[in-house]
């Protein structure tokens, strides 16, 4: 049977003696008033000025439990409320202590200053003291004094573990806006974004095509952090594609009166985001001068407004969005490599709607519910209409080049004109025609000439090649384009490699994926 060892701090108030000490509850003494528990060793940390008073407590313990070995350990502190000093002293004690391999260790945290109790908790949690926490409490009525052991392995506490799981689920549900997605890849992506959002304040880069939901996700990340008490400042959003020339510098960093003609005082977006989140959508559109100042503001949290000789301070979390390949922009000399390295610490590539066909049904329901909230009108599909729309929406040939913006616009159009609040098959068919026209590239007929020049091709080959190029340009990857082009034939094969099949087709004309995509 292991020997029970308790480590504790002499409490100058609660453990103090006096003539009526047996009528009072004393936390350390109470540990020896349990008939069914025997403490074999007590290591009592005592400040030098309380050594004499501690002797009374030790004598009382020897009287209560003769089998207990009590070791008084001098514990000198200049300021018992100085966290750094207390933690350092307790850490030195923990490192110098030689544990008995046969002992069962309990760390008593009922006595000592609150600072000391917190430090003992941290040292036990970090396994500098390899044991469990022990709390004592006064007796209730005729009961024995309280004795509560706390195991810091939280996985053993079902209610706590369940609460953590629930909070995490609530976080991911918020980021998904309550939409029950069926894509394991997207669910894993959202879970990772949720963890990073709560654990890191470093910049986040959201990459993905236009309409994939970057702006919406930036707002939801901000809301999640605000709900968890991690920020109290505002969310400041700016589309960098709208910033040009001197106005970009002034809008981002602000300016002082007289900085240029008719200029007044303007704080700027970076200063407005202090304590909150700054979301720079289409960050790849920023000019090189703005990029240089942004890099300094991220790293130093200070920058110089236009027309000002004094730097200002702004501490914000940066979220960037981009539908461009920023690495390619770096190679073209249009984006700073050092800025990309700074904002690319946490990068999340958001898939387009066409890459998540299994998630179209729940997103369709979400858009209908959103329309109902905004317009106070309940709208639904009749059965045939819903089946027809979903068959079209999930077909690999459906480009969804505008992603969720296209889906939202389609629902708004159909819902607005729905007779009696029911979307019909005729409406769906009209909307399908509208979307197909919207997705048809204006330059489709000239795509092969654009890439190959005035080469002689059979009319059949030119039409087919133009269609292949159009699908490639509306797809995120070679594999996605292959799946769209060979959707019917691939279902009849036992093994498929759509990407290789498409690669070989393009090679017939001296083309490859990068060249087709531009």
- Residue 346 tokens read as 């946490």
pLDDT above 80 (res 450): no
Instruction: Give pLDDT, residue 417.
Output: 92
Residue 305 CB neighbours (<10 A): 23
Judged by DSSP in three states, 396 sits in coil
User: What SS3 string covers 23-63?
Assistant: HCCCHHHHCCCCCCCCCCEEEEEECHHHHHHHHHHHHHHHH
Alpha carbons 49 and 129: distance in angstroms, whole number: 26
Mean pLDDT of 111-132: 91
Alpha carbons 487 and 391: distance in angstroms, whole number: 14
- Name the one residue in this structure whose structure tokens are 């019917």: 488
Instruction: Give pLDDT, residue 279.
Output: 95
Residue 138 · residue 14 · CB < 8 Å: no
Dihedral sign for Cα 242, 246, 250, 252, please.
Answer: positive
* CA-based nearest residue to 251, from 298, 242, 296: 242
Lowest mean pLDDT among 312-321, 331-340, 447-456, 476-485: 447-456
Lowest mean pLDDT among 88-97, 212-221, 248-257, 334-343: 248-257
Mean pLDDT of 172-199: 85
Instruction: Give pLDDT, residue 477.
Output: 79
Q: Kindly indicate the confidence band of residue 496, based on its pLDDT and cuts at 50, 70 and 90.
A: low
pLDDT above 90: percentage of residues in the chain: 49
Alpha carbons 338 and 342: distance in angstroms, whole number: 6
pLDDT above 60 (res 164): no
Encode pLDDT of 229-265 as tens digits: 888 899 999 998 888 766 788 888 886 765 555 555 7
pLDDT above 70 (res 197): yes
pLDDT above 60 (res 172): yes
Q: Is the pTM of this model over 0.85?
A: no
Lowest mean pLDDT among 63-67, 71-75, 173-177, 219-223: 173-177
Encode pLDDT of 382-438 as tens digits: 999 999 999 999 988 788 988 999 999 999 999 999 988 999 999 999 999 999 888
User: What average pLDDT does the structure give for the chain?
Assistant: 86
Q: Kindly indicate the confidence band of residue 443, based on its pLDDT and cuts at 50, 70 and 90.
A: very low
Is 181 exposed, middle or buried, given 0-12, 13-18 or 19+ CB atoms closer than 10 A?
middle
Instruction: Give pLDDT, residue 445.
Output: 52
Instruction: Give pLDDT, residue 478.
Output: 84
Encode pLDDT of 14-62 as tens digits: 998 778 888 889 999 999 999 888 999 999 999 999 999 999 999 999 9
- Beta-ladder partners of 70: 42
Judged by DSSP in three states, 232 sits in coil
Query: Which residues neighbour 337 within 8 Å (Cβ) at sequence distance 6 or greater?
Result: 330
pLDDT above 80 (res 476): no
Domains of the chain: 3-152 (3.40.50.10770), 165-349 (3.40.50.300), 353-439 (1.10.8.60), 444-517 (no CATH)
Alpha carbons 270 and 272: distance in angstroms, whole number: 5
- Beta-ladder partners of 146: 137
| Helix segments in 126-244, DSSP class H | 158-175, 184-199, 214-227
Where is pLDDT greater, at 482 or 57?
57
pLDDT above 70 (res 336): yes
Mean pLDDT of 181-187: 85
pLDDT above 70: percentage of residues in the chain: 91
Instruction: Give pLDDT, residue 497.
Output: 77
Q: Kindly indicate the confidence band of residue 491, based on its pLDDT and cuts at 50, 70 and 90.
A: low
Dihedral sign for Cα 318, 324, 327, 329, please.
Answer: negative
């Amino acid at each position: 049977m292991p020997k029970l060892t308790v480590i504790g701090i002499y409490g100058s108030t609660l453990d103090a003696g006096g003539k009526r000490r047996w009528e009072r509850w004393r936390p350390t003494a109470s540990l020896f008033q349990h008939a069914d528990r025997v403490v074999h060793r007590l290591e009592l940390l005592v400040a030098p000025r309380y050594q004499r008073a501690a002797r009374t407590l030790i004598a009382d313990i020897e009287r209560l439990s003769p089998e207990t070995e009590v070791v008084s350990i001098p514990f000198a502190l200049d300021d018992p409320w100085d966290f750094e000093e207390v933690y350092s002293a307790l850490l030195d004690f923990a490192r110098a202590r030689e544990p008995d391999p046969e002992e069962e260790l309990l760390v008593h945290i009922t006595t000592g200053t609150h600072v000391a109790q917190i430090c003992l908790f941290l040292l036990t949690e970090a396994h500098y003291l390899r044991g469990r926490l022990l709390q004592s409490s006064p007796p209730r009525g005729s009961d024995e004094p309280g004795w509560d052991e706390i195991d810091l392995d939280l996985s053993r506490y079902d209610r706590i573990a369940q609460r953590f799981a629930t909070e995490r689920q609530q976080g991911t549900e918020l980021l998904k806006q309550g939409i029950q997605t069926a894509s394991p890849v997207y669910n894993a992506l959202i879970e990772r974004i949720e963890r990073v959002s709560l654990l890191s304040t470093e910049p986040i880069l959201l990459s993905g095509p236009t309409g994939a939901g970057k702006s919406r996700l930036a707002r939801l990340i901000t809301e999640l952090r605000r709900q968890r008490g991690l920020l109290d400042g505002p969310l400041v959003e700016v589309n960098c594609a709208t910033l040009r020339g001197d106005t970009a510098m002034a809008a981002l960093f602000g300016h002082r009166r007289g900085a240029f003609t008719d200029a007044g005082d303007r704080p700027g977006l970076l200063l407005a985001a202090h304590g909150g989140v700054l979301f720079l959508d289409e960050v790849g559109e920023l000019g090189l001068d703005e990029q240089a100042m942004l890099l300094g503001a991220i790293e130093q949290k200070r920058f110089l407004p236009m027309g000002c000789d004094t730097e200002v301070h702004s501490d914000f979390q940066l979220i960037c969005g981009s539908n461009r390949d920023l690495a390619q922009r770096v190679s073209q000399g249009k984006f700073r490599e050092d800025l990309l390295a700074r904002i690319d610490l946490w990068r999340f590539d958001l898939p387009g709607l066409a890459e998540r066909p299994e998630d179209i049904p729940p997103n369709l329901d979400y858009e209908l519910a959103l329309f109902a909230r905004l317009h106070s009108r309940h709208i639904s599909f009749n059965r045939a209409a819903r089946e027809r729309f979903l068959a079209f929406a999930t077909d690999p040939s459906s480009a969804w080049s505008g992603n969720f913006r296209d889906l939202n616009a389609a629902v708004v159009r159909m819902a607005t004109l729905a007779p009696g609040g029911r979307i019909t098959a005729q409406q769906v068919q009209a909307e399908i025609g509208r979307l197909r026209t919207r997705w048809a590239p204006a330059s489709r007929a000239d795509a092969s000439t654009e890439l190959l020049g005035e080469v002689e091709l059979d009319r059949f080959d030119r039409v087919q090649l133009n269609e292949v190029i159009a699908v490639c340009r509306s797809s995120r990857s070679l594999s996605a384009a292959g799946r769209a082009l060979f959707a019917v034939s691939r279902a009849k094969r036992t093994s498929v490699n759509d990407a290789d099949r498409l690669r070989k087709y393009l090679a017939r004309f001296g083309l490859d994926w990068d060249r087709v995509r531009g």
